[in-house]
Copies of this chain bind each other. A is one copy, B any other.
Amino acid sequence: MTVFNQIAIIGIGLIGSSIARAAKETGVCERILLTDASAEVCQRAGSLGLGDVVESVKDCVETADLVLMCTPVGVMSDLARDMAPHLKPGTIVSDVGSVKSAVYDTVHAYLPETVHFIPGHPIAGTEKSGPEAGFSSLFQDRWCILTPPEAEEGGDALAQLTAFWEGLGSKVEIMPIDRHDRVLAITSHLPHLIAFNIVGTAHDLESVTEGEVVKFSAGGFRDFTRIAASDPIMWRDVFLNNKEAVLEMLGRFNEDLTALQRAIRWGEGEQLRAFFERTRGIRKSIVDAGQDTDADDFGRGGPKD
């Protein structure tokens, strides 16, 4: 089902290239234009046959019905300033950034009133980066959060953008911007920060070699390394742009961890057991909700008999 005639994808990384692949495969648009700040990435995207790769933001956006900013959050403000003069009236502008509030404020200020700006965030990804890392099923059965400003609520632009993401296989959730940033701070940003941190701690341990850490990583550590292999620039921008919510969640996390630390030091077994018992319920809910499978040997292999 065709939703848009022409879409423009700016930033051809894991997400941008996956959107291109999925859009092509599902036919949600007639034509896909892509561009990237890196000429080398543009060339690789061209060889991958992701769509019509153009060299300038102007060429990419000026005839597009939907413009998707798929760059790291930190450059979206400059990108909005550069593309603003070239957007045709009625164009829908959206993004895929993991942070919404800080981005909305700066991007919105640059865009002309004749376009519809509706921020978005597909909750999907892998630890890989670059145009080669994308795949067309990335958004299948995954949530995509859209955070329309009041003026766009219930409008045609929102309906079209919703249809586009549903066409790619996603389920769409509408949410206020501030709520998005708080929900993602706990479900995504804090987990990534913790994972980056523990991998760093392991790296610095002079008393345990990296070889041992690698060899015996199946005991739990390797799951953190997968998350901690995510794109450094993207995550730097996430933490800098969702500072308030991340620091709040981190404060709560630290309080809880201090309580566990104290329980270990003083040998308070019953308190530890009760705490660990409680956390099992959430796992069950996630499996029941179809947001993870139940057959993983810590993410690898799994029961075979």
Contacts and interface: CB of A to CB of B under 8 A. Distances in A.
Oligomer: number of copies: 2
Interface in A105-138: 123-127, 133, 135-138
A200 to B, nearest CB: 6
A235 interface: yes
Given A199-B282, A252-B205, A260-B196, A223 B227 contact: yes
Contacts of A299: 223, 226, 292, 296, 299
Contacts of A47: none
Interface string A235-269: 11101100100110110111011001100110101
Contact of A229 (B133, B227, B283): B283
A27 interface: no
A40 interface: no
Contacts of A232: 272-273, 276-277, 280
B197 A253 contact: yes
Interface string A214-236: 11111111111111111011011
Contact of A196 (B25, B252, B275): B275
A249 B46 CA distance: 47
Interface stretch (A3-11, A31-39, A81-89, A181-189): A181-189
Contact of A247 (B182, B224, B243, B261): B261
Nearest to A223: B223
B197 A260 contact: yes
Given A183-B212, A213-B186, A305-B136, A282 B191 contact: no
29 contacts: A98-B219, A123-B216, A126-B297, A135-B303, A136-B305, A145-B216, A187-B202, A187-B220, A188-B220, A190-B198, A190-B201, A191-B224, A193-B257, A193-B260, A194-B257, A197-B257, A203-B278, A205-B252, A214-B282, A218-B291, A223-B223, A228-B282, A229-B280, A232-B276, A233-B273, A237-B269, A239-B264, A243-B265, A296-B300
**A-B pairs with lowest CB-CB distance, top 10:** A188-B219, A232-B276, A229-B283, A191-B220, A299-B299, A199-B279, A135-B303, A225-B283, A228-B279, A187-B221
